[in-house]
Amino acid sequence: MTDPKAIQPSELDQLPDRDPEETAEWQASLDAVTEAAGPHRAAYLMRRTLERAEDAGVALPKLLETDYINTIPTSAEPAVDGDEAMESRITAWNRWNAAAMVTRGSKYGVGGHIATFASAAWLYETGFNHFFRGKEADGSGDQLYIQGHASPGIYARAFLDGRIGERHLDNFRREAGGDGLPSYPHPRRLPWLWEFPTVSMGLGPISAVYQARFNRYLTSRGIKDLTNSHVWAFLGDGEMDEPESTAALTLASREGLDNLTFVINCNLQRLDGPVRANFKIVQELEALFRGSGWNVVKSLWGTAWDELFQLDTTGALVRRLREVPDAQVQTYQTRDAAYIREDFFGKDPALVEMAKLLSDDKILECFHLSRGGHESRKVYAAYRAALAHKGAPTVILAQTVKGHTLGEGFASKNANHQMKKLSVDEFKAMRDRLDLPIKDSDFVDGVVPYGHPGADSPEVRYLQERRAALGGPAPARRVHPVAPLPAPADKAFSAFDKGSGSQNVATTMAFVRLVKDLVRDKETGRRWVPIVPDEARTFGMESLFPSLGIYSPKGQTYEPVDRDQLMYYKEAKNGQILNEGITEAGSMAEFIAASTSYATHGEPVIPFYIYYSMFGWQRTADQMWQLGDQLGRGFLVGATAGRTTLTGEGLQHADGHSPVIAATNPAALTYDPAFAYEIAVIVKEGLRRMYGAAAPDEDQNVFYYLTVYNEPLRQPAKPAGAGVDEGILKGLYRFNTAESAGLTVPANAPRIQLLGSGTAIHWALKAQQLLAEEWGVAADVWSATSWTELRRDAMEADEALLRGEERVPFVRQALQGAEGPVLAVSDYMRQVPDQIAQWVEQDYTSLGADGFGLSETREAARRYFGVDAESIVVAALAQLARRGEVQVTAVKEAREKYGL
């Protein structure tokens, strides 16, 4: 086999040189200038020459582009290390079963996509047979990001391999009854097969970049050696329009992630039509990736084109290929030879002469069928070149035909993304085209049969032998049995039980203090992965810089400006902090990679990602769904939370709704803690549930969302008595009563229950004092740490009732016997506390910060939204007045007294 390191020739090697002597003279001139004046002078002259050529109208590729031809000429392709004929038969079976599965499912109206895999079949088959390392190999194997719409082909291969049966194929997109297959790669729905959800377009590329980077991070920190793991991301050319697809390209090149390969299926089509109708997507992507520092390998044309390139002594063919827009290439795919002769070759006299030497069959073979992405040798050569390239990631731009082998009704048609089935006649034609041994009698009652050569057939044996040699089945997800992480010492958590005394401490600072203690733990400290998007100083994390270090593959190649300070900016090759820069999407992608390390690598780590709460669920909620789908575990921390606590920042920084969005994600456990000791209890429980000895019936595949605030306030001591920890974790507990707070109220005073979450509990406590001292009303104050968990518990009780089981929701149990109405308040829109309204037996109302945020002081903002202590007092009196427990005039009097 050819040495892969040798597969880096110039694409010019495949073009005929009509005057080799003249070429040699130009090259000798360049060599002479380099030797005499140095490489800089040579580079200067070359650039000036290119500028002159451009000014003169000489057609040359831009500096970031090469000609519209293959990077690796046929003469430089290595021999395929395998049986190409056998692999062709396997691919034919996979093509058939993928189309049959989707077509059979169409009678149920569930849809499916046929054309994508038809174009990409060889891109996957070549990888599965020769490159993709499985989970049973050394290390963790490779990580495969499969293009979502290609899932039928992956299922078809798993069927051939014996990993799934016909009943699974018949339940494609029909999961409710069991034995179903999810539409796309969904680890939560099929956790033994899929590792990475990719069909939310754009998230696969950015996730793959950060997965490759996280692999290097684990290696550098000595947690696991992943030097043999490679990340392969299969993408569509239309998908590259998504901003997330290209957001992290320079990160990948900057950090030299040669453990990463993008394979972009350039079938020139997206859902409604051509990707770049009037332009060339391949050239655009080449310039983009080259400009971002990537190695680019183009595999555009099949071997049938070799004869045409050999005839191109004037360069006219290459020029014409470069100028024809993608939509016209798509048109050639559907037209006859006469049209192609006139429209393609007829534009240049040299091409007219070339066309005279070509038969109609040759022209149709080239323009209808022969693409680099449809030939195993071309794909194999590209993959070898990608693995051989060191120092930068590689992108392979493989040109294909969407709907290839499905027939003229599919190939290159604009509507083929919406076309979900083939007719029986079309299947029979496809059978003949693929040379499959399927008889007409196998089509019973018009139903297309699945095809399988037999469990002991040469095809299946070959497939399984190849996978065994590469480390087992792929794709595959494995959760390796690892011992639960030992619980950190209680000292770190109990440090908050006594409160902060007279010192004011923001809950953001309390969380960071807790993490500082936990990362010192001898057993689990090294497994914490702090992630922050260039706001560490905002959150008070700079003290972690010198002790943990910021991860950088280059270490610190400079002397930091603050080196003489105690908390200087320290980067290190084994740094523990991931400071991602100003990219919430990148931070989330890194968090996802870390949160699933327990499965991907069998090495659990504990990521916490801290960020402006407004820039989390609002900005990257799609990735939070990806996180849930991928069964991630860890802590998301929305700092500077709430609509009124971030003074002066204004509308786009004031978060009044993140818990609403978080509540929609079933995997997210959302908490809005008010006090430092509550944070400690929640984090301790999160570590136990996600990483410790969880109970058998507990779902470990959850993640925690905590909102913390930047307002320095007194942190009280943890109340004594049983049930506090349970209440914190389930979402509600009584913090105090008017009497326990030392307030004097009449024996028969009207009573009200004030429920507050997060920073709002401080306004409730002030309102409690005002109600007692100025209005003779007794108020009990409750800390509602999680409105969402209360609601979920209540919904589960409702579901149990439908099954005939009696169960009382926790919120109702907690408030049982509490006198008077209930008034709930938070620093979020009223929809947040209103989540529990229907399960509260007492009269219930709420206050919240609805509407857009604004720039103001905290006090003025709270008065504006009507959530400050005085507003709570007026709302409480109004509730009591409606019940006849206080005079109606008291409400008016209070409004006037407080200037409301």
Encode pLDDT of 463-492 as tens digits.
999 999 999 999 999 988 778 999 999 999
Q: What are phi and psi of 715, to 5 degrees?
A: -95, 115
The answer to whether 833 and 895 have CB atoms below 8 angstroms apart is: no
What gap in Å lies between CA 254 and CA 247, rounded to an integer?
13
pLDDT averaged over every residue in the chain: 93
Determine which helix (DSSP H) or strand (DSSP E) holds 236, and give its type and residue range. Answer: strand 231-236
* pTM attached to this predicted model: 0.93
Q: Angle, nearest 10°, between helix axes 584-595 and 617-629?
A: 20
Per-residue model confidence (pLDDT) at position 1 = 41
Exposed/middle/buried for residue 692 (C-beta within 10 Å: 0-12, 13-18, 19+): middle
pLDDT reported for residue 413:
54
What are the pLDDT digits (tens) for 429-441? 999 999 999 999 9
Give 500-557 as a DSSP string.
-TT-EE-HHHHHHHHHHHHTT-TTTGGGEEEEESS-TTTTT-TTHHHHH-EE-TT---
Give 670's strand partners.
705
Element spanning 756, H or E: strand 751-756
CA atoms within 13 A of residue 247's CA, in its CB half-sphere: 23
Asked if the peptide bond before residue 152 counts as cis, ω within 30 degrees of 0, the response is: no
Residue 551 to residue 218: CA distance in whole angstroms: 10
Provide the pLDDT for residue 66.
87
Q: Tell me the pLDDT tens digit for each residue of 559-602.
A: 999 898 888 999 999 999 999 999 999 999 999 999 999 999 99
Q: How far is CA 222 from the centre of its chain?
A: 25
Helical ranges in 747-786 per DSSP H: 760-775
Q: How many CB atoms lie within 10 A of CB 248?
A: 26
Q: Name the stretches of the chain with pLDDT < 50.
A: 1-7
- DSSP 8-class letter at 231: E
Provide the pLDDT for residue 414.
56
**Full 3-state SS string of 581-619:** CCCHHHHHHHHHHHHCHHHHCCCCCEEEEEEEHHHCHHH
DSSP secondary structure, 54-119, as one string: HHTT-----TT---SS-SS-GGGPPPPSS-HHHHHHHHHHHHHHHHHHHHHHGGGT-----HHHHH
- The CA–CA distances, whole Å, from 235 to 119, 201, 240, 317, 397 equal 12, 9, 8, 29, 10
pLDDT at res. 415: 52
Query: How far is it, in rounded angstroms, from Cα 190 to Cα 44?
Result: 57
Q: Output the six-digit token pair for 41.
A: 């002078």
Taking the CA atoms of 826, 827, 831 and 835 in sequence, report the sign of the dihedral they define: negative
The whole-number pLDDT of residue 8 equals: 55
